[in-house]
């Protein structure tokens, strides 16, 4: 019998072939929504070639269970012998279909977050979590899974979140590792070869002295601050409540703990790590209490992460992994990642709902891009430098704990000042309540603390630009492929 797992990989693989064809024709590849994925468990004779295809396709996590009610993606309707979608068959099926929609977990998650904020105790399902909180006398053990499987039920809306929650990261998605790695380089070397050039680098060995390494894990954090409220997605919740959730969640886009005030809340945590030597210049500190948010503790289960974005206020950042590991994909500022659509003013970004969905639908296409992304897996003990303006996506490959800080040094001060004075600063600037005045306040404070610095940086930047212009003219003039005149000696 061919397992559900095999069928899934086989059919998605077939669909992929179509995608490649359509890409050649210049048609935007269809989203996974239309994929043909069989959930039936019928015996199928499959050839060697099909086996091979299956191996190359997508796989489900070993822990994946079938969709509760046997929902299939809409594409399967076109392969079905009956061409019957039970959702269209009138009253006889309404109650069953309605039941399936009503038990859709993402809807219950929204309800819980809206009504209980962070004050919920996750019990493995959002639906029962909601009911237990609102109707404490109700015996939720009666709810469980009804096991109601519905024949011929096709819905991309219902299927997609199940698929994304249960897909395993493909080994190919993790293979490319083209970031430059450095160990024990000097600060000057870092500035010259990476910060000045605005290029990512992975720094090894610079957390060796952190107390947090080897100390921070779930048990330690719960002992130290289990009752402290942390920012988790749209809500604030106790750390121990968050771990109860993250230990048992299995969803498309797990809630992520991302707290900018963790040092103020738990000062001991701030004493157990130190800013790596490369990132010690911190010009936003001239603003004192008024500086925008700049340091975060980040905790999340496997599959959680950050979808494509550029860091706030044109700052650069470093991200240190204390526990776990993270897959990074970074694109330089002049390349918008596939599947990502920033609004013209840059204030909003539309991208696939979940990170795994981006990998499923867009990762492959980056192979053909002239400007390939920089990629790596950042493991515990390693730090990545994220230069300003770079698009990046991060997915935790296992439960992870990390610290990140955004900073302004002399190398990116002018970029930051320019960003803060954009006409739509009130929408673009983040991490502070006084978005409009941040430019003036920051500029004044820099002038007061480091007189003449801005003028000197402007002079240097102009000289560099003029030099580059001169160089690019001569490069163009002497490049025989450029069609300009050639020197002949």
Ligand X SMILES: O=C(O)CCC(=O)C(=O)O
- Give residues in contact with ligand X (CB under 6 A): 298, 305-306, 311, 317, 319, 326, 392, 394, 402, 404
Of 335 and 457, the one with the shorter C-beta distance to ligand X is 335
Whole-angstrom Cα distance, residue 148 to residue 421? 58
Of 86 and 404, the one with the shorter C-beta distance to ligand X is 404
Of 361 and 405, the one with the shorter C-beta distance to ligand X is 405
Of 166 and 325, the one with the shorter C-beta distance to ligand X is 325
**How far apart are CB 200 and ligand X at their closest, in Å?**
12
Tell me the CA distances in angstroms from 233 to 312, 468, 470, one per residue in order. Answer: 17, 44, 49
**To the nearest 10°, the Cα dihedral for 350, 384, 169, 103?**
-50
**How far apart are CB 414 and ligand X at their closest, in Å?**
21
Please name every residue paired with 230 in a beta bridge, in sequence order, or none if there are none.
237
Whole-angstrom Cα distance, residue 379 to residue 320? 9
Of 5 and 327, the one with the shorter C-beta distance to ligand X is 327
Whole-angstrom Cα distance, residue 231 to residue 236? 4
Of 85, 113, 86, 106, nearest to 160 by C-alpha is: 106
Of 97 and 319, the one with the shorter C-beta distance to ligand X is 319
DSSP SS3 for 475: helix
**How far apart are CB 285 and ligand X at their closest, in Å?**
19
DSSP SS3 for 113: helix
Of 453, 430, 389, 405, nearest to 279 by C-alpha is: 405
Radius of gyration of the chain (CA): 26
**How far apart are CB 295 and ligand X at their closest, in Å?**
10
**How far apart are CB 423 and ligand X at their closest, in Å?**
25
- Kindly provide the b/e burial profile for residues 229-257, where b requires at least 16 CB atoms within 10 angstroms of the residue's own CB: bbbbbebebbbbbbbbbbeebbbbbbbbb
Pairing of strands 229-232, 201-204: unpaired
Place of tokens 């109650």: 95
**How far apart are CB 292 and ligand X at their closest, in Å?**
13
**How far apart are CB 392 and ligand X at their closest, in Å?**
5
List, in sequence order, every beta strand (DSSP E) within 351-479.
Answer: 374-379, 382-386, 391-396, 400-407
- Name all contacts of 365-374 with Cβ < 8 Å and 24+ positions apart: 365/23, 365/29, 365/338, 366/329, 366/337, 366/338, 369/335, 369/338, 371/331, 371/332, 371/334, 371/335, 372/178, 373/329, 373/330, 373/331, 373/337, 374/178, 374/179, 374/200, 374/328, 374/329, 374/330, 374/331
Of 195, 215, 376, nearest to 277 by C-alpha is: 195
**How far apart are CB 314 and ligand X at their closest, in Å?**
13
Helical axes 438-449 vs 453-477, angle rounded to 10°: 100
Quick check: 321 and 281 in contact, CB under 8 A?
no
Of 75 and 312, the one with the shorter C-beta distance to ligand X is 312
Of 155 and 319, the one with the shorter C-beta distance to ligand X is 319
Of 96 and 218, the one with the shorter C-beta distance to ligand X is 218
Of 152 and 252, the one with the shorter C-beta distance to ligand X is 252
Of 407, 376, 368, 370, nearest to 393 by C-alpha is: 376
Helical axes 4-24 vs 48-56, angle rounded to 10°: 80
Of 106 and 387, the one with the shorter C-beta distance to ligand X is 387
Of 130 and 331, the one with the shorter C-beta distance to ligand X is 331
User: How would you class 260 by CB atoms within 10 Å of its CB: exposed for 0-12, middle for 13-18, buried for 19 or more?
Assistant: middle
**How far apart are CB 306 and ligand X at their closest, in Å?**
4
**How far apart are CB 317 and ligand X at their closest, in Å?**
6
**How far apart are CB 407 and ligand X at their closest, in Å?**
12
**How far apart are CB 284 and ligand X at their closest, in Å?**
15
């Amino acid at each position: 019998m061919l397992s559900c797992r095999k069928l899934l990989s086989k059919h998605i693989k077939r669909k992929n072939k179509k995608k490649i064809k359509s890409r050649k024709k210049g048609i935007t590849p269809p989203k996974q929504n239309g994929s043909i994925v069989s959930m039936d468990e019928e015996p199928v004779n499959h050839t060697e070639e099909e086996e091979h295809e299956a191996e190359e396709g997508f796989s489900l996590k070993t822990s994946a269970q079938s969709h509760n009610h046997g929902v299939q993606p809409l594409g399967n309707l076109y392969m079905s012998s009956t061409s019957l979608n039970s959702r269209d068959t009138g009253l006889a099926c309404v109650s069953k279909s309605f039941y399936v929609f009503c038990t859709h977990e993402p809807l219950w998650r929204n309800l819980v977050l809206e009504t209980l904020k962070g004050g919920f105790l996750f019990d493995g399902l959002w639906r029962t979590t909601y009911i237990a909180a609102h109707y404490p006398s109700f015996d939720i053990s009666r709810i469980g899974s009804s096991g109601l499987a519905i024949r011929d039920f096709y819905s991309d809306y219902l299927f997609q979140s199940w698929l994304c929650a249960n897909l395993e990261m493909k080994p190919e998605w993790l293979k490319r590792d083209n970031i430059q790695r450095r160990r024990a380089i000097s600060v000057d070397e870092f500035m010259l070869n990476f910060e000045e050039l605005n290029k990512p680098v992975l720094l090894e060995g610079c957390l060796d002295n952190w107390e947090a390494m080897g100390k921070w894990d779930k048990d330690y954090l719960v002992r130290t601050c289990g009752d402290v409220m942390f920012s988790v997605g749209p809500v604030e919740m106790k750390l121990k409540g968050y771990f109860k959730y993250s230990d048992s969640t299995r969803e498309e886009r797990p809630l992520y703990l991302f707290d900018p005030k963790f040092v103020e809340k738990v000062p001991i945590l701030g004493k157990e790590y130190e800013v790596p030597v490369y990132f010690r210049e911190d010009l936003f500190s001239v603003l004192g209490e008024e500086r925008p948010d700049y340091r975060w503790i980040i905790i999340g289960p496997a599959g959680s992460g950050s979808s494509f974005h550029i860091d706030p206020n044109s700052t650069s950042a470093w991200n240190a992994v204390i526990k776990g590991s993270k897959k990074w994909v970074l694109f330089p500022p002049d390349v918008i990642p596939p599947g990502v659509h920033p609004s013209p003013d840059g204030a909003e970004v539309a991208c696939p709902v979940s990170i795994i969905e981006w990998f499923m639908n867009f990762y492959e296409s980056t192979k053909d891009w002239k400007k390939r992304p920089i990629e790596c897996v950042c493991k515990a003990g390693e730090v990545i430098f994220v230069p300003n303006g770079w698009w990046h996506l991060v997915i935790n490959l296992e439960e992870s704990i990390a610290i990140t800080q955004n900073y302004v040094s002399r190398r990116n001060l002018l970029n930051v000042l320019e960003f803060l004075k954009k006409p739509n600063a009130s929408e673009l600037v983040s991490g502070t309540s006084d978005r409009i005045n941040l430019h003036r306040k920051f500029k004044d404070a820099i002038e007061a603390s480091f007189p003449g610095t801005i003028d000197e940086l402007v002079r240097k930047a102009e000289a560099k630009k003029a030099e580059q212009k001169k160089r690019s003219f001569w490069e163009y003039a002497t490049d025989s492929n450029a069609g300009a005149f050639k020197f002949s000696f």
